[in-house]
Structures are given as structure tokens and as C-alpha cells.
Amino acid sequence: MSPTMPLPAMASSVTPGPDAARTWPAQQSPAGGGRLPRLLPPAGQPGSDLAAHLGRHGPVPYRGWSARLIPEVRAAGLTGRGGAAFPVHRKLEAVAAASGRAVVVGNAAEGEPASHKDEALLRLAPHMVLDGLQLAAEAVGAARAVLYVRRDLRASTRLDVQISERERRGLDRVAVEIVSAPTRFLAGEESALASLVSGGMAVPRFTPPRVFERGVDGRPTLVQNVETLAHLALIARYGPGWFRAAGTPDEPGTMLCTLRQADGSVSVVEAAIGAPLAELVGRAGTALLVGGYHGAWIPAAQASRLALSNAALRPLGAFTGAGVLAALPADRCGLVETARVARYLALESAGQCGPCLNGLPRIAEALAELAGLAGRQPGPRVLADLSRWAGLVDGRGACHHPDGTVRFIRSALRVFAAEVGQHERGRCTAGNSPPFLPVPAGPSTDADWS
Amino acid sequence: MHGITSSTALWYASRATGVVSLVLLSAVMIIGILVNRQGRLPGLPRFAVLGLHRNLSLLAVTFVALHVITAVADSFVSISLAAAVIPFVSAYEPLWLGLGAVSLDLMAAVIVTSLLRRYIGRRTWRAVHWLAYASWPAAVAHSIGSSKDLQNGPLLGLAVACILGVVGALAWRLARARAEVPRARRVPDLMASQRIPEGHAAGQAPQDRLVRAGRR
Amino acid sequence: MTTTLRVNPIACSGHGLCAELLPELITLDEWGYPVIADQPVPARLARQAGRAVTDCPALALRLSRSR
């Protein structure tokens, strides 16, 4: 059921373009200023070996008491790498200021089927993630640390062993507990995460209160993507200036991207923010999906002129999100791919909110009809229905699942407008090809949410 | 021994208000079930069905209060005020009167939390409101057990009608609840129902099926 | 000070009383769920809004006051 893509033998590093490098006062660093890779170990060096990790980066740089790390994170300008890009220092401050003993959670649910970056990170640099978890726990005064890992990832990595080894060597100040996450699209949503770790199902809760106020067991909870924690650990060692030596002034640092090329090959790379998309995905087929299944399509011609940054992508209604870049091959139909993903997204609804539960399946069926997957000619009202339902669903759920789905679908109708015209006349420019974008099976019983 | 010929006016009043209370409480239960299942009464907007539930419950409480006060004030049988609110401490018919006290206590909790429902939060309010399903049977048992009036004749018929009404409404509620779709099936069922059947005229919207969302 | 009316979509089960009590601000979508106007509650409707909050059988409405 879950996509078991063979993990790329080595995540390659990408040299940043001219905009990406910045000169800052020199700091002690492993890769020297703006050079990559940072998170991922250089070719040939195992990052999953604890001794090698400590040898390369030194011990975990605890600050001595809580909150001392936060000004450095603010200076570095680190934003979350889980998709929402929220400033990390503000989350740390909010959790540290909330009343009650905090809980920190490293989020490796990777509910996005097209993304493999968290899996790659946990295989190639788990100790950087675990260092970040400890430093975050110290920064907010947490008494409990959790690593929330998608169930199949936990089974196929050696995290339990790696954590035990750290404990034996006295590296960790807060014991780390691994919690298995179900393979659901929404499992990584922060309130769903808090719900599952508290013993319930991985379904979102209504906010406010947000999890930084009341999360796991009602306690203030810091939820950070595992990549974010890894960056945090590097900032703690090498400083904000070093972090800002890559990336752009407004969006500093590097990010992990899952690249899905038009030839079908999949890899995970670390790129400086601001790197040209053309260097990452090459000839981007007919269109490029940016961000993930809550992201947006952009036309290939425009994609080749853009950079990997929210500043460059926002005017086209896209954002870097979870770092998924998927190039649609010329022999595939964007509408058909979108319709298949839309059906998956509808099945992944938690089924709690009337608008989402009623709207997404209807949208998915209408899109399937438009894409020619329903075995009949699209009716004259399909586009009007799609537009009306998208408007009814947007912003009316407890979480952002309907919003993200609508953004993805609207971008498809915009970018593939020519195909829409063809499909309304019963034609498709592409043949009947197997799915290009990965679409796992949805839930079949309620236990699939635990 | 209390027959029709040997009671004071207060004792009569207590029995009469008791019967009315039972009928009103039964009506409140039935209409409450209707509200929960989003049922309608002909000609009434939804807020009026809710209004009826609330107003009848306040009327029922009034009659229950009168029922208790007249029973305590009456000197024919010695019932203390304490016995009306503390279960099973009465000297007179401790079991049946005690059940009445149980019903009254639970009812008070339900009423007070409902008056304050806006301020106490959904979960707390709902949890206490479930106690109505304990309060009403206690009231029925109290009514039948403590009063010979209801044990035969037309008033027995009235009591049976109240019981059948509430039990029937409850059975209807349970049947509807069991037909609710589990979470994992909600979307697939809805998507299956959206597929236009072969013979359907092109362009017509399929029969929209409203699937209930929910926390469970 | 602005007063905003919000619905908890998880608690809401589409009873529809709110739209009857406060039609100026709330309409029901084609599935029976409330669509609340994206504006603060005007003072003249404050009492009705409060009533809608109290009367919602699912206690899904919330009035929040902020400066």
C-alpha cells in the first residue's frame, strides 16, 4: 500500500546558483560557508553511524538552560520544512511561554506520497535529527520527546537501535520515545499528530487552542518536521551566519527536495533555496507540480525560468511546501493525473466536517468525469459544479485539507485549460497510461487511522 | 392506606401534579430525541422544535417542584424536604420515594447545565445531559411504585402510553445511529453514490445523498 | 472591539437552527452546513448571535471578542 520506492543510492548535492551564496563572517563549518551538502552526509560517508557523526560535528551543543538557543534561531531565520514554512523561533517562543511542561515531537509522518525527504533524512542523517530534537527540548524546557514516524519507515530504519545507542552514551538529556504513525495523508497534521500521540486517532481537532498551547495530553507541544530539527542542530553548532551563507536573505538556508523527473526517476537532493528549478528538474516535461498534493502546477515554460523560493513561486500561486518537484512527462495527461490524486485526497478526508466530507468526493467524481476516467462524456455542468463546490469547501474544514486540495485542483484547471477543452469534447492528448504520480490506497477500516 | 376518600387537598394536588409531570417529562424526552436526530415537527421551524423541548422541560420542572412542595407540605403523610432530594432516606416508602429523589437530582443537574451550556463546554454539557436517560426511568418507577393511581385504570393506560412513546422514540434513535456510516466508509460510499446511473439524463445532478460527518 | 462568530466544523452536524435565527449572517450550503459571513457581528445582531450560540444543539458556534 505505501509507496516503497527504492531509496536513491545517494542523495546528490546540488551546487547553488549565483543568487544562493552570500558572504558572512567566516564560521567554523564542515562544508565551508555556502557549500553543500549540509544535512546529508557527503558521498561515501555514513551519516547513520554515531561515532562518525560525532567525529564530524562534535558533541550535541547544549546551551545549559532553556531558551538560550532561540535568539540564534531567530537570527538564522529558520522556517519549518514540513510545508507551512512557519518561523521556527516563534514556535519555540510560544511553546516555551505556554504554561505546563512541554512536549517536543519530531514529525516524520511524511503523509505526502510524492515526498521521500524525511525517509532519506532518517536513513542518512538520523543523528542530526535526534540532536535537533534534544536541542529543541532544551530550548522549550520539555520533559518529554517523541519521534513520530510513519509505521513502515519505523520498521525499515534502525531508529530504535540508534536511540538506544545514544542513551547508552549519555548523549540525550530527554529520553526519546518513538510513536508509529499511520500511513494517512493527514497523519502529519499537527493536531492529528497530537491526537494520536495522546492515544486517539490521527484525525485533526478544531483549533484554537493550537497544539503549542494544548497538544499532547493537553500540554504545550512543539511539533517540527524532522528536517527542521536537523537544520536546528546545525545552526546550534555553526551559528546563524553560517546558516545564512546559503539561500536568499528572505529565505535562508537549504532544503531537501524530492525530485520526480519526467523519465520516472526519483531522487532526494539538498538544494540551496533560490536555486534555479531548471538545475533541479531539467526539462520539466509539460508542467511541474510544486510542493506536493496540496501544492500547485506551473507550466513548464515558466518553471524553467523560476527559482526554488517562495518569492519566485508565489506569483504563480505556488510555494516550496514539502519540497516535492514532479515533472509531468509529455506522454501523460495532467488532468488524468490530477483526477487520480483528487480521488486519493478525497478518500483521505477524516470525514469529520460536513463541507469536506460532502465536497471532496463530489469534486473528485466530477474531475474523474472531466478527465474521462468515469467512462462517460463529461456533462455540461461539470466545470460549473467543480467551481461551485471548490468555493464551498475552501476554508470550511477544521484543518487545511480542503483548502490545499482546492488549490491543487484549481491550479490544474488553470494550467491544463487546453486539455480541459479537449476533454469536454471527449478527447485526451495523452493515452491511457499508468499513473505517474503515486496514489496509495485509501483507508479501508477505522483502524487505519490509528 | 390511602384511597380516594381519605386525603387532604394538598395530597390530591401532589398526585395530580405528579401525573402531569410524568406526561411532560415523557414529552420532553421524545422531543429531545427528535432534536438530536434533526427530526422536524410539521409546520415548525427547527428552532421552534428546540424551543418546545426547552419550554416543556421548564414547565415540567415547575410541575415537579409543585409536586414536591405539596407532598412535603401535606400533613397526611410525613415526607420531609430532605427525603425529596436525598435518595432513600424517607421513612415513608423509602424505595419508591427514593427513586423520585434520584430522578429529581439528575434532573436538576441536566437543567442547570443546560441553562449554563454556553459556558461549560460541549463535552461537559453532553456528558451531563445523558443523565436524562437515567432520570426519566427513575421518574417512571417512582410514579408507578409510589402511587396506586397509576397502577390500574385510565391512569395506568396513560403511564403505559408515556413509556411506549419514549421507548419507541429511543428505538428509532438507536436504529438511525446504527445505520451511521463508519469513518473509513463515508467517502467511498459517497463517491459510489455520485456515479450517475446509465439511464440518467445527461446533465441532471444525481440524487444528492447527505452523508453525516461526525467525530465518531 | 470586534465580535466574530465562528463554527466548529467538527462539532457541527448541520442542524441548521443558526441559519433560521441569524439569516443576516448565516446561510446554509447545499448540504445543510452553515456558511458564516466573513465580517464582524454588528451590534444590533449581537443578541441574536448570542442566542444562536446558546441554541445550537451541537454547541458548535462560538462568539469571540477581540480588540
Residue B50: what pLDDT?
96
Long-range contacts of A384-387 (CB under 8 A, 24+ apart): A385/B205, A386/A413
Considering only the C-alpha atoms of chain A, give the largest distance between any 2 of them, rounded to a whole number of Å: 68
- Which of A41-50, A54-63, A320-329, B121-130 is the least confident region? A41-50
Interface test with chain C among B47, B173, B211, by most C beta carbons within 10 Å: B47
Q: Decide if C12 touches A, using CB distance below 8 A.
A: yes
Domain regions of chain A by residue span: 50-244, 334-432
Interface test with chain B among C7, C17, C56, by most B beta carbons within 10 Å: C17
CA distance A7 to A116: 8
Q: In this structure, which amino acid lies at residue A7? A: L
Residue C58: what pLDDT?
95
Q: What angle do CA A361, A362, A368 make, to 5 degrees?
A: 90
Mean pLDDT of chain A: 89
CA distance A205 to B57: 33
Task: Quickly name the fold that domain A334-432 has.
Answer: de novo design (two linked rop proteins) (1.20.1440)
A224 pLDDT tier (thresholds 50, 70, 90): very high
Cis peptide before A42 (omega within 30 of 0): no
Put simply, the answer to whether C29 touches A206 (Cβ < 8 Å) is no
Mean pLDDT confidence for A338-354: 95
Q: Which three cell numbers stand for residue B216?
A: 465518531
- Which chain A residues are within 8 Å of B211, Cβ to Cβ? 357-358
Helix-strand-coil percent breakdown of chain B, rounded to 5?
70, 0, 30
| Alpha helices (runs of H) in A324-397, residue ranges in sequence order | 334-347, 354-370, 382-393
Mean pLDDT confidence for A196-216: 95
Q: Decide if A346 touches B, using CB distance below 8 A.
A: yes
Residue B213: what pLDDT?
52
Q: A28 versus B11: which is more confidently predicted?
A: B11
Cβ-based burial of B126 (10 A; exposed 0-12, middle 13-18, buried ≥19): middle
Q: Residue A372's closest CA among A417, A408, A337, A412?
A: A337
Domain regions of chain C by residue span: 2-66
Task: Quickly name the fold that domain C2-66 has.
Answer: Alpha-Beta Plaits (3.30.70)
DSSP per-residue codes, A212-251: TTS-GGGS-EEEEEHHHHHHHHHHHHHHHHHHHTSB-SSS
Helix, strand, or coil (residue B3): coil
Q: Decide if A192 touches B, using CB distance below 8 A.
A: no
Mean pLDDT confidence for A248-270: 94
CA distance A14 to A290: 18
- Which chain A residues are within 8 Å of C35, Cβ to Cβ? 392, 396
DSSP per-residue codes, A384-428: HHHHHHHHHHTT-SSSSHHHHHHHHHHHHHHHTHHHHHHHHTT--
Cβ-based burial of A23 (10 A; exposed 0-12, middle 13-18, buried ≥19): exposed
B161 pLDDT tier (thresholds 50, 70, 90): very high
Q: What is the pLDDT of residues A371-389, one digit of tens each?
A: 988 888 888 999 999 999 9
Put simply, the answer to whether B38 touches C14 (Cβ < 8 Å) is yes
Mean pLDDT of chain B: 85
Q: Residue A350's closest CA among A203, A193, A448?
A: A203
Q: Which three cell numbers stand for residue A245?
A: 551563507
Q: Residue A275's closest CA among A29, A37, A8, A85?
A: A37
Superfamily grouping for domain A50-244: NADH-ubiquinone oxidoreductase 51kDa subunit (3.40.50.11540)
Mean pLDDT confidence for B27-31: 98
Q: Under a CB-based contact definition with an 8 Å cutoff, are residues B164 and B170 in contact? A: no
Residue reference for cell 397509576: B150
C-alpha separations of A223 from A105, A228, B151 in Å: 5, 10, 64
Residue B187: what pLDDT?
85
Q: What is the pLDDT of residues A76-95, one digit of tens each?
A: 999 999 999 999 999 999 99
Residue B209 pLDDT exceeds 50: no
Pair type for strands C34-36 and C26-28: antiparallel
Residue A163: what pLDDT?
97
Per-residue b or e along A290-305, where b marks 16 or more CB atoms closer than 10 Å to that residue's CB: bbbbbbbbbbbebbee
- Which of A42-56, A376-390, A396-410, B20-34 is the least confident region? A42-56
CA distance B7 to B29: 32
Q: Under a CB-based contact definition with an 8 Å cutoff, are residues A129 and A53 in contact? A: no
A431 pLDDT tier (thresholds 50, 70, 90): low
Q: Decide if B175 touches A, using CB distance below 8 A.
A: no
Q: Residue A341's closest CA among A51, A113, A83, A1?
A: A113
Question: What ipTM is given for this predicted complex?
Answer: 0.95
Q: What is the pLDDT of residues A6-41, one digit of tens each?
A: 333 233 343 222 322 222 222 233 444 467 788 888
Mean pLDDT confidence for A58-65: 90
Q: Under a CB-based contact definition with an 8 Å cutoff, are residues A117 and A294 in contact? A: no
DSSP per-residue codes, A156-211: HS-HHHHHHHHHHTT--SS-EEEEEEPS-GGGGSHHHHHHHHTTS-S-----SSPT
Q: List chains adjacent to chain C, taking adjacency as at least 3 C-beta pairs closer than 8 Å.
A: A, B
Q: Residue A131's closest CA among A241, A181, A56?
A: A56
Q: Which three cell numbers stand for residue A268?
A: 532526494
| Alpha-carbon A441 to chain mean position | 20
- Positive or negative: CA dihedral A404, A219, A119, A180: negative
Q: Residue C7's closest CA among A204, A255, A396?
A: A396
Residue A169 pLDDT exceeds 80: yes
Residue A432: what pLDDT?
63
A202 pLDDT tier (thresholds 50, 70, 90): very high
Put simply, the answer to whether A443 touches B194 (Cβ < 8 Å) is no
Residue A68 pLDDT exceeds 60: yes
Mean pLDDT confidence for A409-422: 94
Put simply, the answer to whether C9 touches A352 (Cβ < 8 Å) is yes
Q: What angle do CA A167, A170, A173 make, to 5 degrees?
A: 85
Residues ≥6 apart with Cβ < 8 Å to A359: A389, A390, A392, A393, A402, C31
- Which chain C residues are within 8 Å of A399, Cβ to Cβ? none
- Which chain C residues are within 8 Å of A206, Cβ to Cβ? 8-11
Residue A211 pLDDT exceeds 90: yes
- The pTM of the full predicted model, rounded to 2 decimals, is 0.89
Q: Under a CB-based contact definition with an 8 Å cutoff, are residues A163 and A177 in contact? A: no
Chain A, residues 182-221, CB within 8 A of chain C, namely: 204-206
Q: Decide if A396 touches C, using CB distance below 8 A.
A: yes
Q: Residue B84's closest CA among A278, B74, B76, B69?
A: B69
Cα-Cα-Cα-Cα dihedral of B72, B74, B77, B81, to 10°? 10
| Alpha-carbon A12 to chain mean position | 19
Q: How many CA atoms lie within 13 A of B13 on its CB side?
A: 17
- Which of A122-131, B87-96, B166-175, C47-56 is the least confident region? B87-96
Q: Decide if C66 touches A, using CB distance below 8 A.
A: no
Helix, strand, or coil (residue B129): helix
Helix axes A159-168, A50-57, angle to 10 degrees: 60
Distance from CA of A361 to the nearest CA of C (A): 13
Residue B184: what pLDDT?
76
Distance from CA of A376 to the nearest CA of B (A): 9
